[in-house]
């Protein structure tokens, strides 16, 4: 019997997968976005251990909310039922801070580092977000560089830009956010 399962669904950004652990109260292990170089379907097939396809109420509900979010609906996610316990302590702190950034705002890697009391850790914040196992649930697309350019994102820079536009943010001709509400 497999120890984890996945549901794969189509979005305007390509396939997305929700992976969860088996049990009476399933816990979400990760969300997998398609990237410019690889689809979520391909990523799921190379995971170790590879999850099996399946369905459960929690994963189906989350998949529906992620789909709605990617269609531009103002969906609020919470951290209940996701496996943050598998993240290192610093990454967990970064993810908690990132999860509090509202749809109407962005923050910078540096501001998040300062908020965590580690002003020299901007790059470490960026690395923690690059390995965010719960993109969209924890909105790492809302963290940008100090010069207000978008920076990286698991789903690719085009997806990050599009998500920020869907949330009402605007960019100037040089690709910088214009007049964002900065958080932290």
The contacts found for 159-167 with CB under 8 angstroms, 24 or more apart, are 159/13, 159/33, 162/13, 164/106, 166/72, 167/103, 167/104, 167/142
The partner residues of 8 in beta bridges, in order of sequence, read: 17
Q: Name, in order, each residue with C-beta under 8 angstroms of 184's C-beta and a sequence gap of 6 or more.
A: 97, 101, 107, 111, 112, 114, 115
The partner residues of 35 in beta bridges, in order of sequence, read: 38
Secondary structure (3-state) at 140: helix
User: Is 87 among the residues known to form the active site?
Assistant: no
How crowded is residue 42: how many other Cβ atoms within 10 Å of its Cβ?
13
The catalytic residue among 56, 87, 114, 140 is 140
The partner residues of 80 in beta bridges, in order of sequence, read: none
C-alpha–C-alpha distance, residues 137 and 22, integer Å: 20
What residues are labeled active site? 140
């Amino acid at each position: 019997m497999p120890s984890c399962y996945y549901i794969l669904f189509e979005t305007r950004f390509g396939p997305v997968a929700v992976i969860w652990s088996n049990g009476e109260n399933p816990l979400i292990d990760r969300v997998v976005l398609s990237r410019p170089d690889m689809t979520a379907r391909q990523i799921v097939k190379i995971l170790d251990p590879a999850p099996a396809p399946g369905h459960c109420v929690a994963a189906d509900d989350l998949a529906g909310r992620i789909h709605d979010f990617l269609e531009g609906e103002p969906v609020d996610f919470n951290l209940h039922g996701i496996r943050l316990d598998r993240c290192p302590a610093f990454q967990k702190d970064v993810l908690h801070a990132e999860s509090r950034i509202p749809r109407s705002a962005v923050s910078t890697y540096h501001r998040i580092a300062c908020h965590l009391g580690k002003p020299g850790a901007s790059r470490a914040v960026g690395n923690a977000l690059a390995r965010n196992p719960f993109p969209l649930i924890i909105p790492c697309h809302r963290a940008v560089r100090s010069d207000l350019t978008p920076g990286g994102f698991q789903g690719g820079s085009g997806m990050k830009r599009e998500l920020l536009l869907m949330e009402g943010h605007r960019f100037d001709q040089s690709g910088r956010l214009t007049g964002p509400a900065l958080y932290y």
